[in-house]
Amino acid sequence: MSVIGQPLARIDGRLKVTGGAKFTAEFPIPGLVHAFVVQSTISCGRITAIDSADAERTAGVLAVLTPNNAPKLPSPQQRLSLLQDDKIHYNAQPVAVVVAASLEQAQYAASLIRIQYQSEPPHLDFKAGFPRSYPGSHVGEPGDLSFGDVEAGLREAAIHVDRVYTTPIQHHCPMEPHATIAQWDGDRLTVHDSSQYVYARKGSLAEIFRIPEGNVRVIALFVGGGFGCKGEIWSHVVLAAMAARQVNRPVKLVLDRQQMFGPVGARPMTHQHVTLGATREGKLTAIRHEVHSNTSFLEDYLESAAFPSRSMYACANVSTISRLVQLNLGTPTYMRAPGVATGTYALEVAMDELAYELQLDPLQLRLLNYADLDPQTKHPFTEKHLRECYQQGADKFGWSRRNHQPRSMRDGSLLIGWGMATETYPANRQPASALVRVKPDGRVLVASATHEIGNGTYTVLAQVAADALGFSPDLIDVEIGDTVLPESPISAGSMTVASVTPAVQAAAMEVRRKWTPEAKLPIEAVVKVSPDRNLKKSFAPHSFGAVFAEVSVNEPIGMVRVRRVVAVYDVGRLINERTAKSQFISGIVWGISLALHEDTHVDSRNGRIVNANLAEYHIPVNMDIGAIDVSAVDIPDMKLDPLGARGIGEIGITGTGAAIANAIFHATGKRIRELPITPDKLLP
C-alpha cells in the first residue's frame, strides 16, 4: 500500500523533543568567538563621530568594526547595511560590530561605544507620503494590472461598496532568532545560517566578497521558524563573515529578540481602497483594488495585496493598482502569505459588506460569482474544487443555521457571530534536484539542499522515496540544508513539496531502473526536475479553500474570542495527512493573529519600534485559540507536478482574518476596517 498521504510521524520529531536537532547557534566550533551588533538610534541622517576607545580596551574584546575601519567590500549590496559609509536610513540600522571572547563581553563593550549623529527630518508619516508614491512590481509581476472596463462596470452596477481597509506593520517573530556562524579557511568561507535558501545565501556571499561560489558552503539543517524573514540575506550574515575574516576566528552572531524588529524585514502596512459594483441579483460588474504600502529608502519591496482580486471571482472588469511609499524604516520583506494575507482580508470583508447591501447570504454571493476560468488570463485552472470546499465547510460548520441579521445570535450575555471567507494562494514550482542512493547496508539516502523550516520536509521526502522504491520509510535517511547537496529552491511561496518531491521521485525511479539482479550496491541517481515552462501559458495554478469562523464578543469590555474555525482546502494531493493538517492549523492561527493581535508600533518622532519584544508585540497563545477543524478534498493536481501535490504552508492565513472580521460584524453590527480588531475599537 502506498505510503503517500499516510499520517506518518515526523522523522525529525524525536531529535527536536530530545534536543538532538542542532539549530544554527548550537554548533560547537573550536575557537568560536562572539559578535554583537550596535544599532543606530536615529532614522535619517549620518554619523558624525564614533568613539570606540573604551570598548576596544574592554577585557576579551578582539575587534570593533565601524564605518571608520571596516574593510571595504568588493561588491557591497545597496540593500544591506555593511558599515561602508556614514549614512543612516532607518532606526536600528547596524552601525558597528563588537567581537569578543564571550557574548557578555561583546554586549558590554558595545554599550560603551559613543556615537554622534547629524539627524535629518525622517519620512515616517505613511499617508503624507501618498502624493510621492510610485508603482512597483512583485517577483516580476507588475503591481498595476487591469482588464475590461472598470468605469463602465461601475456605471452598470446597481449596488456599490466603496471602502478603505488598513493593516499595520507586522513582524515574523520566529522562536529561533536570526543566527550566523562564519569561519574562513584562507579564501574559503563556511557559514552556518538560519536560512530558508542556502543556495542563494551562497551566491550572495560569493558576490559580496568576490570569491568563487565553489569556495562558499552554507549549512542550515534546521530552522526554528522563518515565515519569510529568513529568505533574503540580511546585513548580520555578511557582518559575521566580515568579523570572522578580521579576527581570523570563527564568529557567532545571534540577534537578540529586540534586534529582530527593524533590520530583518517585516510585513509592510497597507492602505487598501476597494470598490465593488454588482447587479441587484449579486453578479459582480467591477472590482477596483488600490493598495498603498510602505517600503524603505534602500530597496523597493511591494506587498502584492491587490493581486488576489485578479483571480478570486468571475468579473469581467478588474483594476488593480499598487503604490509604494518610501519611509525611513527597514526594508519590508515576504511574510507568510505575503500580499495575499492582507489582500484577501480587504477583498473578503468588502464581499461581506456587499452581501449585506444585497441582503444575500455571504456564501451564496460567492457561489454566484464563482470563477470556472482564471479571470485575468482566461485560462482554466490546473484543478479547482472550491465548490466542494464551500459545501463541505458549510456542512461541518452548520452554516445553514446562521441568522443573517447582525446581533441576532447570543450565548447568555455574549454576542455570537458567524463569518466566512474564501481562501486562495498561487500554486508555485521551481527547478529542484535530488540524490537517491541505495547503500550497501540496504538503507537509502535521499539528499537535496532544501530546508526544514518546521513544515515536515524531512518526512515527506522520505515518504516519496519510500513509495517510489517500494521500501519502508524506516529505511530512508534524509539529508537537507547544505550547499554540498544537489541544488533546490527557496523554501517559501508554498512550493517546497511541489518543487522537490518530483525530483526525489524521479531520482528514486532512476535507481529502480538501474537496479538489476547483477547490479552492485551502492546504486544512485542525481536528477534535476524543472516545471513545464508552458504550464502557465495554458493553465492557471492556484489553491483554494473555504473558512468559517465563530466568535463570541463580551460587549461591555470589547473582548473577542474565536470559539471555533472550520476550513476545507483544495490543495491537490496530500503527501502526509498529519503534517498537512499541522500546516493548515498553523496558518489559521496566523490568520487569527492577523485579525486580532499583531501590530508593530513605531514612534513617529524617531522611527523606533516601541514594542520590540514578545511581551508587548502580541501574538496568540494557547488560550487565544479555540477549536480548529481542518480537512482537504485531497484531489491530485497532476497538471502541476507528477505527484499532484501543491504547497500548503500559507493558504490557511488567507481569508481567515476576513472570516473573523466578518464574524465580529455579525456579532456586533460594527464594521471594523482597521486591523487588528482590538477591544478598544469595539467598546460601546
Per-residue pLDDT band for 165 (boundaries 50, 70, 90) equals very high
Measure the CA–CA gap between 680 and 677, rounded to whole angstroms.
8
Closest residue by Cα to residue 541 from 424, 655, 383 = 383
Share of the chain above pLDDT 70, in %: 100
pLDDT digits (tens, 9 = 90+) for 1-50: 689 999 999 999 999 999 999 999 999 999 999 999 999 999 999 999 99
Q: Kindly report the CA angle at 587 between 143 and 169, in degrees rounded to 5? A: 50
For residues 221-229, give the mean pLDDT. 98
Measure the CA–CA gap between 636 and 574, rounded to whole angstroms.
8
For residues 539-564, give the mean pLDDT. 98
- Summary mean pLDDT of the chain: 97
Per-residue pLDDT band for 537 (boundaries 50, 70, 90) equals very high
pLDDT digits (tens, 9 = 90+) for 344-390: 999 999 999 999 999 999 999 999 999 999 999 999 999 999 999 99
Do 571 and 648 contact (CB within 8 A), yes or no? yes
The per-residue pLDDT for 1 is: 65
**Residue 517 above 90 pLDDT?**
no
Q: Which of 281, 577, 650, 674 is catalytic?
A: 650
Helices then strands, each counted (H, E), the chain: 14, 27
* 3-class SS of residue 354: helix
Measure the CA–CA gap between 307 and 341, rounded to whole angstroms.
11
Measure the CA–CA gap between 616 and 600, rounded to whole angstroms.
9
Cell numbers placing 210: 568576490
Instruction: Enter the pTM of the model.
Output: 0.97
Do 504 and 445 contact (CB within 8 A), yes or no? no
CA distances from 248 to 70, 253, 310 (A): 15, 15, 53
Q: CB 79: neighbour CB atoms within 10 A?
A: 15
Half-sphere exposure in the Cβ direction for 441 (13 Å, CA) = 6
Environment class of 400 (CB within 10 Å of its CB; exposed 0-12, middle 13-18, buried 19+): exposed
User: At 563, which helix (H) or strand (E)?
Assistant: strand 559-570
Q: Can you list the domains of the chain with their CATH numbers?
A: 24-120+175-225+230-260 (3.30.365.10), 131-170+266-427+538-681 (3.30.365.10), 430-530 (3.30.365.10)
For residues 139-155, give the mean pLDDT. 97
DSSP summary character for residue 5? B
Q: Which of 317-326, 510-519, 547-556, 637-646 has the lowest mean pLDDT?
A: 510-519
Cell numbers placing 562: 474565536
Measure the CA–CA gap between 598 and 608, rounded to whole angstroms.
17
Per-residue pLDDT band for 303 (boundaries 50, 70, 90) equals very high
Q: Which of 25-39, 288-302, 512-526, 538-552 has the lowest mean pLDDT?
A: 512-526
pLDDT digits (tens, 9 = 90+) for 616-641: 999 999 999 999 999 999 999 999 99
Share of the chain above pLDDT 90, in %: 98
Cell numbers placing 212: 568563487
Do 566 and 574 contact (CB within 8 A), yes or no? no
Relative to beta strand 559-570, strand 625-632 is parallel
Do 67 and 47 contact (CB within 8 A), yes or no? yes
Environment class of 477 (CB within 10 Å of its CB; exposed 0-12, middle 13-18, buried 19+): middle
Tell me the torsion sign for CA atoms 327, 228, 237, 101: positive
The per-residue pLDDT for 130 is: 98
**Residue 175 above 90 pLDDT?**
yes
Helix, strand, coil % (nearest 5) of the chain? 30, 30, 45
Cell numbers placing 547: 473558512
Active site residue 650: yes
**CB contact set of 186 (below 8 Å; sequence gap of 6+):** none
